[in-house]
């Protein structure tokens, strides 16, 4: 049946990148997966079809995680169709450069609202049911840049640091109710969100530096590798783990 047999998983940002790979893996492990895209329902349906095609159960949904009412509506529909949500994966996010004094206010708001408020909104919509049932797993997808700085990405770094502290604070708040809250902090991962780092000539020096600095020598990880950790943090295997920030960056942040 798999590690997640009988569980219902809600994956925001599940239509691409790390979220997509988590959704696919969870489907193979027996979960009924609700795949949430920000606006493109067709993309979410593509992932859901792949899960169903492999013998799993999945549904596709679209909502802007910045709006609590949209999130609550989708959560209500998922719960009515599949039963209460056991696992929440917060993978929706954006990664634009935000140089100081040269970033429009609406871009600042977009980064903070999707990366932080979006995470908060899904948790507030789903966690009460988990706490009432005394069981649940919440995994937030942060970034190594929530633990170290990168020039010209200050707002993104700040947003992911906020996600890290949401994780730790809520792990304390929810722990006595049987709800695990943990976080994965990927480094450079091969996803559409940061494809420019791997393909544009202007970033070649930076990518080469990363390869030289990582103990593994790899310049980026794979989203499938992040999904494997998400699976561990979403089942009874991780029973003693609360409030962890699992950095998966090929060792880049260790130093030189």
Catalytic residue among 156, 203, 220, 232: 156
- What 3 state SS string does the chain have? CCCCCCCEEEEECCCCHHHHHHHHHHHHCCCEEEEEECCCHHHHHHHHHHHHHCCCEEEEEECCCCCHHHHHHHHHHHHHHHCCCCEEEECCCCCCCCCCCCCCHHHHHHHHHHHHHHHHHHHHHHHHHHHHHCCEEEEEECCHHHCCCCCCCHHHHHHHHHHHHHHHHHHHHHHCCCEEEEEEEECCECCHHHHHHHHCHHHHHHHHHHHHHCCCCCCCECHHHHHHHHHHCCCHHHCCCCCCEEEECCCHHHCC
Which residue, 9, 193, 181, is CA-closest to 97? 193
C-alpha pair distances (Å), 219 with each of 38, 198, 207, 214: 29, 9, 6, 7
Phi, psi of 57 (to 5 degrees): -120, 135
Helix 154-175 vs helix 105-112: crossing angle, to nearest 10: 30
Confirm whether 156 is a catalytic residue. yes
Q: Which residues are catalytic?
A: 156
């Amino acid at each position: 049946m798999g590690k997640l047999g009988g569980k219902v998983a809600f994956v925001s940002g599940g239509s691409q990148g790390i979220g997509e790979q988590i959704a696919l893996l969870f489907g193979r492990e027996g979960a009924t997966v609700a795949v949430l895209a920000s606006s493109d329902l067709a993309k979410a349906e593509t992932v859901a079809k792949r899960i169903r095609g492999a013998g799993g159960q999945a549904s596709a949904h679209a909502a802007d995680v910045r709006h609590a009412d949209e999130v609550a509506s989708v959560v209500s529909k998922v719960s009515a169709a599949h039963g209460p949500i056991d696992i929440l994966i917060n993978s929706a996010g954006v990664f634009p450069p935000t140089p100081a004094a040269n970033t429009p206010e609406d871009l600042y708001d977009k980064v903070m609202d999707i990366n932080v408020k979006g995470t908060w909104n899904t948790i507030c919509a789903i966690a009460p049911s988990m706490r009432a049932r005394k069981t649940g797993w919440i995994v937030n997808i942060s970034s190594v840049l929530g633990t170290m700085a990168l020039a010209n990405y200050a707002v993104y770094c700040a947003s992911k640091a906020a996600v890290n502290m949401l994780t730790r604070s809520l792990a304390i708040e929810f722990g006595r109710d049987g709800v695990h809250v943990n976080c994965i902090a990927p480094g450079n991962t091969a996803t559409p969100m940061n494809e420019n780092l791997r393909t544009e000539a202007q970033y070649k020096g930076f990518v080469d530096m990363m390869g030289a600095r990582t103990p593994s020598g790899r310049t980026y990880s794979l989203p499938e590798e992040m999904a494997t950790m998400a699976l561990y943090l979403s089942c009874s295997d991780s029973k003693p783990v609360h409030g962890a920030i699992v950095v998966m960056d090929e060792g880049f942040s260790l130093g030189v």
